[in-house]
Amino acid sequence: MTTSFAALSLVALYSAMAVYAIAFVAFAIDLARRSVPAATVPAEHIPVLVVAGGTSTHEAPGRTDSGPLNETTPTTRAHSRASRVAFALTVLAWLLHLGAAVLRAVAGGRVPWANMFEFSLTGSLLIVGVYLLVNLWVDLRFLGTFVIGLMLILLGVATVGFYVDVVPLPPALQSAWLVIHVFVALLATAFFALSFAASSLQLVQVRRESKPTPAVGRFARMLTTIPDAQSLDVIAYRITIVGFALWTFTLMAGSIWAERAWGRYWGWDVKEVWTFIIWVIYAAYIHAKATRGWQGNRAAWLAIIGFSAVLFNFGIVNVFFTGLHSYSGL
């Protein structure tokens, strides 16, 4: 029984990866097309004055420093066919991916996040899930290649390097805190992943925008079709603070669990250390956003370093460091 569900889960996961791969290509085609000068559709949404039975006396909206997401994208393009296909495929792949996680849960009779393979399975599911969800508010299609690419790498490493059979939970993991603490940590990671993507693009945009003469070439043209550095800055910030709040909770829930399991809520165990380091880096990021001289590039670098620390904590500390958190299952 267990084995057959686990096998089905893998089938679903490989199917999801195949569809992700096609979606990745479609996203890439969309980006490539953007670099071809196209008839751009005029911005569909600029908060223009709506006149109630009178004439307009409105001026162009001032530039805001807080709400530019809808307004400052230079040209809002109608979504290309490639991008629509890519998006639909991503949703399809995500549903297969979700199926893989659910089947894995059924196979184990427990939550599917108790070893490295399962962390990767569910963590990447959450990354795409959050990506799709955030798209309901902010158009993040331009990040598709980035996010789905990251996804394929993660799932590739997970299936090749981390796969383990379904085994029962050891007593140390039999706790409600496994459900809460690890899930929220993975969710926070998903937000940090998006913030990493947005911040990286932000740095690219800053470079482009700071050139005295507009660069020519396909890549440069493509860049003009995605949000400018300042919009990316705002997008990254809003995504990061959600991640930070979740990470704060992760750290606290982890402490409570550590107290239940080991008799102390904090002991500078290797995993605790890295959770703390990540928390401090993102606290620094938030401060940077409010500190003169640190906004923009430096803050973006902190977000990138922060996510690198998350990856390090996940991929290196879990697997290669010895500590109390030896749950990789490898």
Partner 1 sequence: MPALGLVGWARWIWRQLTSMKTALWLLVLLAIAAVPGSLVPQRTADPNGVLQYFKNNPDGARVLDSLQAFDVYTSVWFSAIYLLLFISLVGCVIPRTRHHWIALRAAPPLTPRRLSRMPVHEAHEVDVQDSGPVRAELVEEGMRLLRRSRYRVVTYPEPGDPTGASQSVSAERGYLRETGNLLFHVALVGILATIAIGGGYGYIGQRVVVEGQTFVNTRAAYDSFTPGRFFDNSMLDPYSLTLEKFSVQYEVQNPKALGMATDYTARVSVRDQGSSQGHTSSIKVNEPLSVGGTEVYLLGNGYAPEITVKDPTGKVVFSDTIPFLPQDANLTSLGVVKVPDGLKSQVGMIGFFYPTQAVAANGAFYSAYPDLVTPLVTFNVYTGDLGLDSGAPKSVYTLDTSSMTQVTGRGTGIDSLQLTPGQTVQLPNGLGSVELTGIKRFASFQVAHDPTQGFVFGFAIVILVGLALALFVPRRRLWVRINTSKTGRLVLEYAGLARGDDPGLAAAVTDLAQRHRSRFTNRD
* Nearest distance in Å: CB 209, partner 1: 21
Q: Does 259 bind partner 1 (CB under 8 A)?
A: yes
By CB under 6 A, residue 21 contacts ligand HEM: no
Is residue 136 close enough to count as binding partner 1 by CB under 8 A? no
Decide: 210 and 52 in contact? Cβ < 8 Å: no
Q: Segment 266-285, which members bind partner 1 (CB under 8 A)?
A: 267-270, 273-274, 276-277, 280-281, 283-284
The C-alpha atoms of residue 164 and residue 170 are separated, in whole angstroms, by: 15
Contact between 301 and partner 1 per CB under 8 A: no
How many other CB atoms are there within 10 angstroms of residue 123's CB atom? Answer: 22
Contact letters for partner 1, residues 29-48 (x by CB under 8 A) = ------------------x-
Element (H or E) spanning 258, and its range?
Answer: helix 229-262
CB-nearer residue toward ligand HEM: 121 or 198: 198
Task: Compute the distance between CA of residue 165 and CA of residue 47 in angstroms, rounded to an integer.
Answer: 55
Q: Are the C-beta atoms of 123 and 310 separated by less than 8 Å?
A: no
Which residue of 4, 11, 67, 207 would you call a contact of partner 1, by CB under 8 A?
Answer: 67
Smallest gap from residue 223 Cβ to partner 1 (A): 24
Q: Which stretch binds partner 1 (CB under 8 A): 24-32, 36-44, 215-223, 249-257?
A: 249-257
Does 244 bind partner 1 (CB under 8 A)? Our answer is yes
What distance in Å separates the CA atoms of residue 151 and residue 146, rounded to the nearest whole number? 9
Please tell me whether residue 4 adopts helix, strand or coil conformation.
helix
Residue with Cβ nearer partner 1 (15 or 321): 321
**Which parts of 280-309 interact with ligand HEM (CB under 6 A)?**
283, 286-287, 289-290
- Taking alpha carbons only, the member of 14, 143, 19 closest to residue 92 is 19
According to the binding rule CB under 8 A, does residue 8 interact with partner 1? no
- Under the criterion CB under 8 A, does residue 63 sit at the interface with partner 1? yes
44, 91, 264, 308: which one binds partner 1 (CB under 8 A): 264
Residue 327 burial by Cβ neighbours in a 10 Å radius (0-12, 13-18, 19+):
buried
**Residue 277: which residues within 8 A CB-CB, separation 6 or more?**
309, 313
Could you give the CA distance from residue 156 to residue 266 in angstroms, rounded to a whole number?
34
58 is a site residue for ligand HEM (CB under 6 A): no
